[in-house]
Amino acid sequence: MAHDNTRDPSALHTPVLLERCIELLAPAVTDGDSGAPQVVVDATLGMGGHTEALLERFPHLHVIGLDRDTEALELAGARLARFGDRAIRVHAVYDEIARAVADSGYSRIDGVLFDLGVSSLQLDEADRGFAYAQDAPLDMRMDQSSGETAADVLATAPEGRLRAIFERYGEEPLAGRYARAIIAARAEEPILRSGQLVDVLQAATPAAVRDQRHPAKRVFQALRIEVNAELSVLERAIPAALDLLRVGGRAVVMSYQSLEDRFVKREFARRTASTAPAGLPVELPEHRPEFRLLTRGAELADDAERARNPRAIPVRLRAAERVRDAR
Protein backbone atom coordinates (compact mmCIF):
# COMPACT_ATOMS: atom_id res chain seq x y z
CA MET A 1 0.00 0.00 0.00
CA ALA A 2 1.35 3.43 -0.90
CA HIS A 3 1.71 5.75 2.04
CA ASP A 4 0.61 9.36 1.82
CA ASN A 5 3.41 11.18 3.61
CA THR A 6 1.95 14.62 2.91
CA ARG A 7 -0.60 14.24 5.72
CA ASP A 8 -0.12 16.31 8.85
CA PRO A 9 0.02 13.93 11.84
CA SER A 10 -0.93 16.68 14.29
CA ALA A 11 -4.17 17.13 12.37
CA LEU A 12 -4.82 13.38 12.27
CA HIS A 13 -4.36 12.71 15.96
CA THR A 14 -5.02 14.36 19.33
CA PRO A 15 -2.85 12.79 22.06
CA VAL A 16 -4.84 11.43 25.00
CA LEU A 17 -4.20 12.91 28.49
CA LEU A 18 -1.17 14.78 27.15
CA GLU A 19 -0.73 17.27 30.00
CA ARG A 20 -1.24 14.62 32.67
CA CYS A 21 1.35 12.33 31.06
CA ILE A 22 3.90 15.17 30.95
CA GLU A 23 3.11 16.13 34.55
CA LEU A 24 3.73 12.56 35.72
CA LEU A 25 6.97 12.11 33.75
CA ALA A 26 8.37 15.60 34.47
CA PRO A 27 10.02 14.89 37.87
CA ALA A 28 12.10 12.14 36.26
CA VAL A 29 13.40 14.29 33.40
CA THR A 30 13.73 17.86 34.68
CA ASP A 31 17.30 17.50 35.95
CA GLY A 32 18.85 18.38 32.61
CA ASP A 33 22.03 19.85 34.11
CA SER A 34 23.22 16.61 35.72
CA GLY A 35 25.42 15.83 32.72
CA ALA A 36 23.98 12.36 32.26
CA PRO A 37 21.91 11.83 29.12
CA GLN A 38 18.22 11.55 29.88
CA VAL A 39 15.97 9.26 27.94
CA VAL A 40 12.29 8.38 27.85
CA VAL A 41 10.89 5.49 25.83
CA ASP A 42 7.60 6.18 24.08
CA ALA A 43 6.74 2.52 23.69
CA THR A 44 3.77 3.25 21.41
CA LEU A 45 4.98 6.16 19.28
CA GLY A 46 1.99 6.31 16.93
CA MET A 47 2.02 9.67 15.20
CA GLY A 48 4.37 11.19 17.74
CA GLY A 49 2.11 13.55 19.69
CA HIS A 50 3.32 12.64 23.17
CA THR A 51 6.96 12.46 22.03
CA GLU A 52 6.76 15.88 20.33
CA ALA A 53 5.44 17.49 23.51
CA LEU A 54 8.13 15.85 25.67
CA LEU A 55 10.93 16.98 23.36
CA GLU A 56 9.54 20.53 23.28
CA ARG A 57 9.22 20.82 27.05
CA PHE A 58 12.50 19.16 28.06
CA PRO A 59 15.38 20.35 25.86
CA HIS A 60 17.91 17.88 27.33
CA LEU A 61 15.69 14.87 26.73
CA HIS A 62 16.08 12.12 24.15
CA VAL A 63 13.04 9.97 23.30
CA ILE A 64 13.21 6.47 21.85
CA GLY A 65 9.91 5.91 20.02
CA LEU A 66 8.87 2.35 19.25
CA ASP A 67 6.16 1.32 16.82
CA ARG A 68 5.43 -1.82 14.84
CA ASP A 69 3.50 0.19 12.23
CA THR A 70 5.86 1.43 9.50
CA GLU A 71 3.37 4.02 8.28
CA ALA A 72 3.10 5.53 11.78
CA LEU A 73 6.92 5.66 11.98
CA GLU A 74 7.07 7.58 8.68
CA LEU A 75 4.45 10.11 9.76
CA ALA A 76 6.05 10.55 13.19
CA GLY A 77 9.42 11.00 11.52
CA ALA A 78 8.15 14.01 9.59
CA ARG A 79 6.64 15.49 12.75
CA LEU A 80 9.80 14.97 14.82
CA ALA A 81 12.44 15.83 12.21
CA ARG A 82 13.15 19.24 13.78
CA PHE A 83 14.46 17.52 16.94
CA GLY A 84 17.28 15.78 15.07
CA ASP A 85 18.97 12.93 16.93
CA ARG A 86 16.97 13.62 20.10
CA ALA A 87 14.11 11.68 18.47
CA ILE A 88 15.09 8.05 17.90
CA ARG A 89 12.55 5.98 15.98
CA VAL A 90 12.67 2.19 16.14
CA HIS A 91 10.58 -0.29 14.16
CA ALA A 92 9.78 -2.74 16.96
CA VAL A 93 7.01 -4.30 18.97
CA TYR A 94 7.10 -2.89 22.49
CA ASP A 95 8.14 -6.14 24.16
CA GLU A 96 11.45 -5.55 22.34
CA ILE A 97 12.05 -2.49 24.54
CA ALA A 98 15.24 -3.79 26.18
CA ARG A 99 16.90 -4.43 22.82
CA ALA A 100 15.76 -1.07 21.45
CA VAL A 101 17.19 0.77 24.47
CA ALA A 102 20.51 -1.12 24.31
CA ASP A 103 20.82 -0.59 20.54
CA SER A 104 20.25 3.14 21.12
CA GLY A 105 23.24 3.23 23.50
CA TYR A 106 21.53 3.26 26.91
CA SER A 107 21.48 0.84 29.83
CA ARG A 108 18.79 2.52 31.97
CA ILE A 109 15.95 4.91 31.21
CA ASP A 110 14.36 7.83 33.04
CA GLY A 111 10.79 7.24 31.94
CA VAL A 112 8.51 5.11 29.82
CA LEU A 113 5.09 5.84 28.33
CA PHE A 114 2.64 3.27 26.99
CA ASP A 115 -0.45 4.43 25.08
CA LEU A 116 -1.97 1.01 24.42
CA GLY A 117 -4.45 -0.30 21.91
CA VAL A 118 -5.18 0.59 18.33
CA SER A 119 -4.00 3.98 17.07
CA SER A 120 -6.02 6.74 15.46
CA LEU A 121 -4.17 6.11 12.20
CA GLN A 122 -5.18 2.45 12.18
CA LEU A 123 -8.79 3.16 13.11
CA ASP A 124 -9.20 5.98 10.61
CA GLU A 125 -7.74 4.16 7.61
CA ALA A 126 -10.68 2.11 6.38
CA ASP A 127 -8.55 -0.33 4.39
CA ARG A 128 -6.77 -1.56 7.53
CA GLY A 129 -9.95 -3.41 8.57
CA PHE A 130 -9.94 -2.42 12.27
CA ALA A 131 -13.33 -0.69 12.30
CA TYR A 132 -16.55 -2.68 12.09
CA ALA A 133 -18.44 0.42 10.92
CA GLN A 134 -16.53 0.51 7.60
CA ASP A 135 -16.40 -2.27 5.01
CA ALA A 136 -12.77 -3.15 4.29
CA PRO A 137 -10.45 -6.13 3.90
CA LEU A 138 -10.10 -7.97 7.22
CA ASP A 139 -6.43 -7.25 7.86
CA MET A 140 -6.09 -5.79 11.40
CA ARG A 141 -2.29 -6.20 11.50
CA MET A 142 -0.55 -3.26 13.18
CA ASP A 143 2.56 -4.25 11.22
CA GLN A 144 1.36 -4.98 7.70
CA SER A 145 4.74 -6.43 6.72
CA SER A 146 4.31 -9.72 8.59
CA GLY A 147 1.97 -12.16 10.29
CA GLU A 148 -1.48 -13.56 9.62
CA THR A 149 -4.46 -11.31 9.03
CA ALA A 150 -7.87 -11.44 10.70
CA ALA A 151 -9.19 -13.04 7.50
CA ASP A 152 -6.53 -15.77 7.88
CA VAL A 153 -7.67 -16.45 11.46
CA LEU A 154 -11.32 -16.64 10.40
CA ALA A 155 -10.45 -18.97 7.52
CA THR A 156 -8.32 -21.47 9.44
CA ALA A 157 -9.20 -21.45 13.14
CA PRO A 158 -11.37 -24.36 14.34
CA GLU A 159 -14.58 -23.57 16.17
CA GLY A 160 -13.05 -24.09 19.62
CA ARG A 161 -10.24 -21.65 18.97
CA LEU A 162 -12.59 -19.00 17.63
CA ARG A 163 -14.81 -19.37 20.68
CA ALA A 164 -11.78 -19.09 22.99
CA ILE A 165 -10.54 -15.95 21.19
CA PHE A 166 -13.92 -14.24 21.49
CA GLU A 167 -14.32 -15.28 25.14
CA ARG A 168 -10.84 -14.36 26.33
CA TYR A 169 -10.07 -11.24 24.33
CA GLY A 170 -13.58 -9.90 23.76
CA GLU A 171 -15.32 -11.15 26.91
CA GLU A 172 -18.14 -11.97 24.52
CA PRO A 173 -21.08 -13.89 26.07
CA LEU A 174 -22.21 -15.15 22.65
CA ALA A 175 -18.75 -16.46 21.72
CA GLY A 176 -19.93 -20.01 21.04
CA ARG A 177 -22.85 -18.89 18.91
CA TYR A 178 -20.63 -16.55 16.88
CA ALA A 179 -17.95 -19.21 16.37
CA ARG A 180 -20.55 -21.67 15.01
CA ALA A 181 -21.99 -19.01 12.70
CA ILE A 182 -18.55 -18.19 11.29
CA ILE A 183 -17.76 -21.87 10.65
CA ALA A 184 -21.08 -22.24 8.78
CA ALA A 185 -20.60 -19.04 6.80
CA ARG A 186 -17.04 -19.78 5.70
CA ALA A 187 -18.15 -23.16 4.35
CA GLU A 188 -20.24 -21.19 1.84
CA GLU A 189 -17.64 -18.52 0.98
CA PRO A 190 -14.45 -17.04 2.52
CA ILE A 191 -14.99 -14.21 4.99
CA LEU A 192 -12.58 -11.63 3.62
CA ARG A 193 -14.18 -8.28 4.45
CA SER A 194 -15.37 -6.58 7.61
CA GLY A 195 -18.84 -6.07 6.12
CA GLN A 196 -19.22 -9.82 5.58
CA LEU A 197 -18.23 -10.56 9.16
CA VAL A 198 -20.63 -7.94 10.53
CA ASP A 199 -23.47 -9.52 8.49
CA VAL A 200 -22.67 -12.98 9.88
CA LEU A 201 -22.59 -11.67 13.45
CA GLN A 202 -25.79 -9.64 13.02
CA ALA A 203 -27.64 -12.70 11.71
CA ALA A 204 -26.42 -14.81 14.65
CA THR A 205 -27.42 -12.29 17.31
CA PRO A 206 -30.79 -12.47 19.08
CA ALA A 207 -32.87 -9.36 18.41
CA ALA A 208 -32.94 -8.41 22.10
CA VAL A 209 -29.13 -8.29 22.20
CA ARG A 210 -28.91 -6.41 18.89
CA ASP A 211 -31.03 -3.67 20.40
CA GLN A 212 -28.58 -3.26 23.31
CA ARG A 213 -25.18 -3.21 21.60
CA HIS A 214 -23.44 -3.70 18.28
CA PRO A 215 -22.73 -7.43 17.89
CA ALA A 216 -19.38 -6.82 16.20
CA LYS A 217 -17.66 -4.62 18.80
CA ARG A 218 -16.26 -7.33 21.07
CA VAL A 219 -15.52 -9.76 18.24
CA PHE A 220 -13.50 -7.15 16.33
CA GLN A 221 -11.58 -6.28 19.52
CA ALA A 222 -10.85 -9.96 20.12
CA LEU A 223 -9.63 -10.56 16.56
CA ARG A 224 -7.38 -7.49 16.72
CA ILE A 225 -5.82 -8.65 19.99
CA GLU A 226 -5.31 -12.15 18.58
CA VAL A 227 -3.79 -10.99 15.28
CA ASN A 228 -1.32 -8.68 17.03
CA ALA A 229 -0.72 -10.89 20.11
CA GLU A 230 -1.41 -7.74 22.13
CA LEU A 231 -1.86 -9.27 25.58
CA SER A 232 1.10 -11.62 25.43
CA VAL A 233 3.26 -8.73 24.15
CA LEU A 234 2.00 -6.51 26.98
CA GLU A 235 2.71 -9.20 29.59
CA ARG A 236 6.36 -9.19 28.48
CA ALA A 237 6.68 -5.46 27.81
CA ILE A 238 5.54 -3.94 31.13
CA PRO A 239 7.94 -5.97 33.33
CA ALA A 240 10.80 -5.34 30.88
CA ALA A 241 10.10 -1.59 30.89
CA LEU A 242 9.96 -1.41 34.70
CA ASP A 243 13.27 -3.29 34.92
CA LEU A 244 14.93 -0.63 32.76
CA LEU A 245 13.95 2.32 34.96
CA ARG A 246 16.59 3.94 37.15
CA VAL A 247 15.74 4.96 40.71
CA GLY A 248 13.46 7.98 40.33
CA GLY A 249 12.38 6.81 36.88
CA ARG A 250 8.67 6.74 36.11
CA ALA A 251 6.28 4.59 34.09
CA VAL A 252 2.96 5.88 32.74
CA VAL A 253 0.52 3.44 31.14
CA MET A 254 -2.77 4.26 29.41
CA SER A 255 -5.13 1.34 28.75
CA TYR A 256 -8.36 1.38 26.80
CA GLN A 257 -9.96 -1.94 27.67
CA SER A 258 -10.29 -3.97 30.84
CA LEU A 259 -7.97 -6.85 29.89
CA GLU A 260 -5.02 -4.50 29.43
CA ASP A 261 -5.80 -2.46 32.52
CA ARG A 262 -6.22 -5.57 34.66
CA PHE A 263 -2.71 -6.76 33.80
CA VAL A 264 -1.14 -3.33 34.37
CA LYS A 265 -2.90 -3.04 37.74
CA ARG A 266 -1.67 -6.51 38.76
CA GLU A 267 1.95 -5.86 37.72
CA PHE A 268 2.04 -2.47 39.45
CA ALA A 269 0.56 -4.05 42.59
CA ARG A 270 3.25 -6.74 42.53
CA ARG A 271 6.07 -4.22 42.13
CA THR A 272 4.77 -1.88 44.86
CA ALA A 273 4.30 -4.62 47.47
CA SER A 274 6.77 -5.62 50.17
CA THR A 275 8.31 -9.06 49.71
CA ALA A 276 8.85 -9.53 53.46
CA PRO A 277 7.63 -12.92 54.70
CA ALA A 278 4.47 -12.79 56.79
CA GLY A 279 5.17 -12.37 60.49
CA LEU A 280 8.62 -10.83 60.08
CA PRO A 281 8.89 -8.23 62.89
CA VAL A 282 11.05 -5.79 60.88
CA GLU A 283 11.02 -5.20 57.13
CA LEU A 284 14.59 -5.61 55.85
CA PRO A 285 15.81 -3.22 53.13
CA GLU A 286 15.88 -5.96 50.50
CA HIS A 287 12.16 -6.63 51.10
CA ARG A 288 11.04 -3.05 50.55
CA PRO A 289 8.99 -2.37 47.41
CA GLU A 290 10.91 -1.41 44.27
CA PHE A 291 8.15 1.00 43.15
CA ARG A 292 5.50 3.31 44.54
CA LEU A 293 2.19 4.16 42.90
CA LEU A 294 1.75 7.71 41.60
CA THR A 295 -1.98 7.37 40.93
CA ARG A 296 -4.76 6.28 43.21
CA GLY A 297 -6.42 3.54 41.21
CA ALA A 298 -6.88 4.27 37.52
CA GLU A 299 -7.31 7.90 36.49
CA LEU A 300 -9.92 8.81 33.89
CA ALA A 301 -10.14 11.67 31.42
CA ASP A 302 -12.21 14.58 32.66
CA ASP A 303 -15.42 15.73 30.96
CA ALA A 304 -13.66 18.48 29.03
CA GLU A 305 -11.13 16.08 27.49
CA ARG A 306 -13.81 13.52 26.71
CA ALA A 307 -15.81 16.16 24.86
CA ARG A 308 -12.72 17.42 23.01
CA ASN A 309 -11.26 13.98 22.21
CA PRO A 310 -13.79 11.10 22.18
CA ARG A 311 -10.98 8.53 22.07
CA ALA A 312 -10.14 9.52 25.65
CA ILE A 313 -13.50 8.23 26.92
CA PRO A 314 -12.38 4.67 27.81
CA VAL A 315 -8.83 5.53 28.96
CA ARG A 316 -7.49 4.23 32.29
CA LEU A 317 -4.17 5.79 33.33
CA ARG A 318 -1.82 4.28 35.93
CA ALA A 319 1.68 5.42 36.91
CA ALA A 320 4.49 4.27 39.18
CA GLU A 321 7.98 5.43 40.22
CA ARG A 322 11.03 3.31 41.01
CA VAL A 323 12.12 4.00 44.59
CA ARG A 324 14.64 1.18 45.11
CA ASP A 325 17.05 -0.53 42.79
CA ALA A 326 16.65 -4.29 42.70
CA ARG A 327 20.12 -4.76 41.23
Annotation-wise, does 67 bind a ligand? Answer: yes
H or E element in which residue 324 lies: none
List for the chain the helix, strand, coil content (%; round to 5). Answer: 50, 15, 35
Query: For residues 70 and 144, is the Cβ–Cβ distance under 8 A?
Result: yes
The answer to whether the annotation marks 32 as part of a ligand binding site is: no
Q: Which of 45, 54, 56 is nearest to 9 (CA)?
A: 45
Would the annotation count 48 as a binding residue?
yes
Q: Any idea what DSSP says for residue 272?
A: T
In a 3-state reduction of DSSP, which class is residue 228? helix
Ligand-binding annotation for 122, yes or no, is yes
Q: CA 186, CA 193: separation in Å to the nearest integer? A: 12
205 backbone φψ class: left, alpha, beta (φ>0; ψ -120 to 50): beta
Q: What is the DSSP string of 4-65?
A: -TTS-HHHH---TTHHHHHHHHHHHH--TTSSS-EEEEETT-TTSHHHHHHHHH-TTEEEEE
Whole-angstrom distance, CA of residue 297 vs CA of residue 306:
19
Annotated binding site: 48-50, 67, 94, 115, 122
Annotated binding site for S-adenosyl-L-methionine: 48-50, 67, 94, 115, 122
